[in-house]
Structure formats: C-alpha cells, structure tokens
C-alpha cells in the first residue's frame, strides 16, 4: 500500500509540474522567434529533468568519463527513462519511436526539445532521420540511439541494428557506447507494459537505483567493428552491474 501511495503521489506531482511548465511554455512561445523557442525548449527540458530526478527519487551511479566530443551515443535499452538519464549528463538529442510523440505531456516536451522521431518501417522516415542526425552533429551536439530497437530484460543486449554504425562511418563521427541498467529488474518497461501502471510500480520505491557507464569514443571506417566492439563493451558492463548488485544481497 505504501508503494502504491508513494507512486501515486509522485505521479500526481509529475503531472502537475509538467502540465504547468508545458502550458506556460506553450503560451510564451507565441512571443518568441523559432531560434529563441528552440533554446528555451532545451532549457525547459533540462530543468524538468532535474526536478523529475529529485521528485522520483532517482539515484544514478556514473562510471567512466562523460564524453567531451559529439558523436552517436549507442546504448542498450531498458526503459523510457533511459534517454532522460543520459540527457541529464550529456547535451544530446534522442532518437525515439514515432508513437512517443502522441503520449500526453511527455510527447509535447519531446517534440519541442528536439527529440528525433522515426517510423522504423518507413524508408522515407529513416532517411529523414539520418539527415536530421547529420545536421545536429554538424552543430556540435550528440545523438542518442538505442540500436536494439526495443527494450528488454535479458542479461546482455539483443542484436544491434546496423544503421547507427553505418551512419557513423559515412559522416566520420565517433560512436560513444553507453551501458545502462536498473537495480530492480522490473523497472524495465517491456512487453505489454503501459505507462501509468509501470510508473506506479517503478517509482513507488523510495529510490530507483540506476547504473550507467560512458565508454571512450570509438572511431573507425568499419561499421562491423564499431557494432561488435560497442556490443561487447556494453554486454560485459551489464554483467558487471548485475554481479555487483547481486553481491549486495
């Protein structure tokens, strides 16, 4: 019962402050030009992430050094919260599935703050996404992509999609591997999970512990090398995370 009440209180607080700031931003945007709106949208995103981490009791343990160069950040995928964790550390724009754009509140924040939405089954959408990625990288920001294409709870990663690694070789940018995992396995957002029940379960705990490792940038003209090296680094780190957590029991 305590867990349900805590999760419900946090959900209500989350909805209230996101709604308030989203509405305020929407009204204010009518008085700004496009450049000002984009910059302030990023500031709003960063501000909301800081509040969210505190309200939800997020405890993040970071390993490695934060990237100092822009590139294609490739990470394993556990939850809708993964990009929030990464963006709280790195100035980057996530690539997300088109369906997220229709989520209440979250979809609006994602759209105004630069999330790149892709319809994976559509060739035109994938090409447009690739063009957007190139433009953002030229401007000095990084891109976050999840090459598994879906979330999972396996000890190591699913097969990686080839696209990000091929793009990195074409545009001569770094691949930055990132491993991320949650102490409680059920915090993963998988299969037929829906947002509100998952939110209540995940954030009904006093704290949600997350481990994340940033690996050094990798440069290569060989997409297979980039893919295999990234996957190997991430898989070994996920195994280490789980071993450390299991040893605490």
* 23 pLDDT higher than 80: yes
pLDDT per position as a tens digit, 106-153: 777 777 777 888 766 556 656 777 777 888 887 788 999 999 989 999
DSSP state of 85: H
Q: What's the CA gap between 64 and 62, in Å, rounded?
A: 7
Cβ burial of 177 (10 Å; 0-12, 13-18, 19+) is buried
Name the percent of the chain lying above pLDDT 90.
66
CA pair distance 31, 8, nearest whole angstrom: 36
Domain count, the chain: 1
* Mean pLDDT calculated for residue range 72-100: 90
Residues 166 and 63 sit within 8 Å (Cβ to Cβ): no
Name the least confident of 32-36, 83-87, 153-157, 179-183.
32-36
φ, ψ of residue 123 to 5 degrees: the values are -65, -40
Q: Domain holding 122: CATH number? A: 3.40.1130
Structural domain span for residue 37 = 2-247
Quote the tokens at residue 8: 């419900």
pLDDT at 138: 79
Give me the pLDDT at residue 122, please: 59
């Amino acid at each position: 019962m305590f867990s349900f009440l805590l999760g419900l209180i946090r959900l209500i607080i989350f909805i209230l402050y996101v709604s308030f700031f989203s509405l305020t931003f929407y009204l204010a945007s009518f008085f700004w030009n496009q450049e000002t709106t984009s910059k302030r949208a990023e500031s709003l995103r960063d501000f909301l992430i800081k509040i969210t981490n505190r309200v939800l009791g997020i405890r993040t343990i970071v390993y490695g050094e934060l990237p100092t160069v822009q590139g294609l950040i490739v990470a394993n995928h556990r939850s809708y919260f993964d990009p929030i964790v990464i963006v709280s550390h790195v100035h980057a724009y996530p690539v997300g599935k088109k369906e997220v754009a229709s989520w209440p509140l979250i979809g609006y924040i994602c759209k105004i703050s630069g999330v790149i939405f892709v319809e994976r089954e559509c060739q035109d959408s994938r090409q447009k996404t690739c063009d957007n990625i190139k433009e953002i990288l030229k401007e000095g920001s990084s891109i976050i992509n999840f090459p598994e294409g879906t979330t999972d709870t396996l000890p190591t990663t699913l097969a990686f999609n080839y696209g990000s690694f091929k793009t990195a070789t074409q545009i001569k940018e770094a691949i930055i591997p990132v491993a991320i995992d949650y102490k409680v396995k059920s915090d993963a957002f998988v299969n037929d999970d829906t947002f509100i029940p998952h939110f209540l379960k995940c954030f009904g705990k006093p704290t949600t512990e997350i481990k994340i490792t940033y690996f050094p940038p990798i440069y290569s003209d060989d997409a297979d090398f980039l893919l295999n090296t990234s996957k190997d680094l991430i898989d070994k780190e996920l195994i280490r995370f789980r071993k450390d957590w299991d040893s605490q029991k």
